[in-house]
Amino acid sequence: MDMGWVNEVYEKILSKEKKVVERNRNKIPYTTNDGVFDDRGGREICWWTNGFWGGMLWQLYHATHDPLYLEVAIENEVKLDANLMNRQGMDHDSGFKWMPTAVAHYHVTGDKAARNRALLAADNLASRFNPVGKFIRAWNNWDGNEDGSFAGRAIIDCMMNLPLLYWAGAELHDPRFVHIAKMHADTAMQHFIREDGSAKHIIEFDAQTGEYLHSVGGQGYAHGSSWTRGQAWAIYGFVLSYIHTKETRYLETSMKVADYFISCIPESKLIPVDFRQPEKPAYEDSTAAAIAACGMLEIAKYAPDDRKEIYQDTAIELIKTIADKRCNWDETIDNLVEKCTAAYHDPDHEFSIIYGDYYFIEAIWKLMDKELFIW
Ligand code: GLY
């Protein structure tokens, strides 16, 4: 396969992002309005995506050593301290927030304050573990209403937060963090992954007894459907658990979900919000494509030799399709990736979302051997 396009895309990203970061340095973006980044961090510092801008900056810094990215990344990380001090804003998404910011910073510079932030976040994440049900509680109750109604909820996305626990376990030489991460991963394997390889989004356990109660419809089309970003979190999350533990059952699970995902990819290679959504209205989600591609590129490193190519080639097809059809290369527009969707039943669909940009960049960096491995 001719890979010359990857180098071109890499150069276009570097050229565009330098301008984007210069004009948005005081924000923590989530989406764009008329091509201009909003500042989600300014109005909602505890929002789960607030680490991805930092992640982009660390990837850009790692590739270029341009001090602009270092300065802005550290400013972003410090702003997140307001979240660390807000208990209601601390949920299971600490991995998404502090791996691409504080842990990345600590890896690159050895900064002690960054290490402290990340360890505080890991402590909080570990404290969400329900030892009877062996799962990490996903969310706090909305509006701080502590009636316990979400105490038994776990979601597949949490697989991506486990690396914060693996990191803390290694950093502190304290296996408790790893035990918790593995117990959650085993529960997820048992209850989230269906026979056909698809993954459920939300599960409700009895928080008192730990008993599995039922699954709940989430950001996909319906209960029992196949939300593509959830499939992507499972693919990437399980292979990350394999990378950190070397337990082959996690690699096998990641491959099982990836095989299911591959079997559903439409001819266009553009990924819908849900593989089981109706023909109309049919919405797209480029984030699912980018995240699944990142996961498959990791699987390709560890899969048996006769399976490596399928994951590598599929990932490349997904990323090339985004680069050709779903990237906005206009340097006056802030976002890169288009047609991202947060949830099927939300009022808005197919807009820009910061983690679409993040995972697209991460995938290109993987292909260029330029990645700062964040997870
Ligand atoms: N973790 C929430 C989402 O993927 O939308």
Give the tens place of pLDDT for each residue, 22-62. Answer: 999 999 999 999 999 999 999 999 999 999 999 999 999 99
Q: Comparing C-alpha atoms, which of 47, 14, 55 is closest to residue 374?
A: 55
State which ligand 1 atom lies nearest to the alpha carbon of 96: 1
- Write down the catalytic residue from 38, 91, 157, 285: 157
Residue 304 has a CB neighbour count (10 Å cut-off) of 8
At 3 the pLDDT is 85
For strand 153-155 and strand 32-33, is the pairing parallel, antiparallel, or unpaired? unpaired
39 catalytic? Reply is no
Number of Cα atoms under 13 Å in the Cβ half of residue 53: 32
Q: How confident is the model at residue 1 (pLDDT cuts 50, 70, 90)?
A: low
For ligand 1, say whether the CB of 198 is within 6 Å of any of its atoms: no
At 144 the pLDDT is 65
Rounded to the nearest 5°, which phi and psi values hold at 364?
A: -65, -40
305 catalytic? Reply is no
Burial of 247 (0-12, 13-18, 19+ CB in 10 A): middle
- What value does the mean pLDDT of the chain take? 97
Task: List % helix, strand, coil for the chain (3-state, nearest 5).
Answer: 55, 10, 35
State which ligand 1 atom lies nearest to the alpha carbon of 157: 1
Q: Please determine, for residue 279, whether its predicted confidence score (pLDDT) is greater than 80.
A: yes
Distance 157 CA to ligand 1 centre (A): 6
